[in-house]
Structure 1
Amino acid sequence: MAREQGRKLIAQNRKARHDYHIEDTFEAGMVLQGTEVKALRAGRANLVDGFVDIERDEVWLHAVHIPEYAQGTWTNHAARRKRKLLLHRAEIEKIAQKTAQKGYTIIPLSLYFSDGRAKVEIALAKGKKSYDKRHSIAERQADREKQQALGRQLKGMDRV
C-alpha cells in the first residue's frame, strides 16, 4: 500500500483568526488512540472550543471534539479527552515564556494529516477587543470594495 503524501485538512478553526491576534504558529504531532485516527480519517473533528495547556513541561490539547468511531467497539475513545501534543523542548520553552505574560493563550488553528501523520497547527495568540474585531471587518470590507472597483475599471465599466 502506498504511503500518503501531502497535506489533507480535517478541521479548521476559522473563528480563531477573527477572535485573536496570531503571534506565532507551531506544528505539533498528537498522541492518538486507534479509533481516533479512524474518526479523523473519516474527516470528523471540531476545534471550536479547543485550547492548549502546558502541564509539567508537557503540552496538552483540551476540549477538541473527535467523535467516536462508528464501527468502534468497547475500545472506542472518549470524544473530548485531553490529548498530548508532541513538540521540541525549545518550542515548549518558548511557548511557556510567552504564555507567562499577561494576555497570551495557545489555540488550535487546524487539524490535518501531513504525510499520513496527524498534526495540529497551534498558535500563540492574544485576544482581540471588540473594537479590534470591528476594525478588521471594516478593513476586509474596504479591501473587497477596492478589488471590485479595480475589476470594474479593468472591464471598462467605470468609463463615463
Structure 2
Amino acid sequence: MAREQGRKLIAQNKKARHDYAIEDVYEAGLVLQGTEVKSLRQGRASLVDGFVDIDRGEAWLHGVHIPEYSQGTWTNHAARRKRKLLLNRAEIEKIERRVSEKGLTVVPLSLYFLNGRAKIEIGLAKGKKTWDKRQTIATRTAQREVEQAIGRRLKGMKD
C-alpha cells in the first residue's frame, strides 16, 4: 500500500481561537498506540478540553479524547490518557520559559495526519477577557458587511 501524501485534518479546536489570543504556533509529533492511530484514521478525536504540560523537560498532552477503537480487543487504549509530544529540546525550553514568565498556556489547535504521521498543532495562548471576545466578533461582522457591500457594488446593485 502506498504511503499517504499531504495533510488530512482529523480534529480542530475552534473554541481555543475564540477563548484565547494565540501568540505562537508549534507543530509536534505524537507518541500513540496502535489502536489510537486506527481510531484517528476513522476521524474520531476531540481537542476541546486539551492542554499541554511540560514536566521534567518533556511535553505532555492532557485531556484530549481519542475514543476507543471499535474493533479493538483487550489491547485498546484509554480514551483520555496523557500522550507524549515530540518536540525539539530548544522548542520545549522556549515554551516552558514563556509559560513561566508571561503566564501563558499551551492549547492544542488542530490534530492531523501529515504524510501518514499524526501531528498536532499547539499554540502559546493568552486568555481573552469577555470584552476582547465581543470586540473580535464586532470587527469580524464589520469586515463581513464591508465585503458584502463591495460585492453588491461590483454587481451593480444598490446598497
The question of a shared fold, defined as TM-score above 0.5 by the shorter chain, is answered with yes
Per the alignment, residue 123 of structure 2 pairs with: 123
Are 1:146 and 2:143 an aligned pair? Answer: no
Query: Which segments of 5 or more consecutive residues in structure 2 lack a partner in the other structure?
Result: none
Aligned length: 159
Per the alignment, residue 92 of structure 1 pairs with: 92
Per the alignment, residue 39 of structure 1 pairs with: 39
Q: How far off its partner does 1:86 sit?
A: 0.3
Runs of 4+ more than 2 Å apart: none
TM-score, normalised by the number of residues in structure 2: 0.98
Calculate the aligned-residue CA RMSD, in Å: 0.8
Deviations along 1:126-158, one digit per CA (max 9) or x if unpaired, are 000000000000000000000010011111112
Per the alignment, residue 101 of structure 2 pairs with: 101
Q: How far off its partner does 1:27 sit?
A: 0.4
Letter aligned with residue 70 of structure 2: A
Identity of aligned residues (%): 75
Are 1:134 and 2:134 an aligned pair? Answer: yes
Classify the secondary structure of the residue corresponding to 2:65. coil
Per the alignment, residue 12 of structure 1 pairs with: 12
Q: How far off its partner does 1:58 sit?
A: 0.3
Deviations along 1:103-135, one digit per CA (max 9) or x if unpaired, are 300000000000000000000010000000000
C-alpha distance in 2 between matches for 1:112 and 1:101 = 30
C-alpha distance in 2 between matches for 1:137 and 1:25 = 22
C-alpha distance in 2 between matches for 1:103 and 1:20 = 13
C-alpha distance in 2 between matches for 1:102 and 1:110 = 23
Per the alignment, residue 54 of structure 1 pairs with: 54
Letter aligned with residue 42 of structure 1: Q
Query: Which segments of 5 or more consecutive residues in structure 1 lack a partner in the other structure?
Result: none
TM-score, normalised by the number of residues in structure 1: 0.98
Q: How far off its partner does 1:65 sit?
A: 0.2
Classify the secondary structure of the residue corresponding to 1:113. strand
Deviations along 1:48-103, one digit per CA (max 9) or x if unpaired, are 00000000000000000000000000000000000000000110011001000243
Classify the secondary structure of the residue corresponding to 1:101. helix
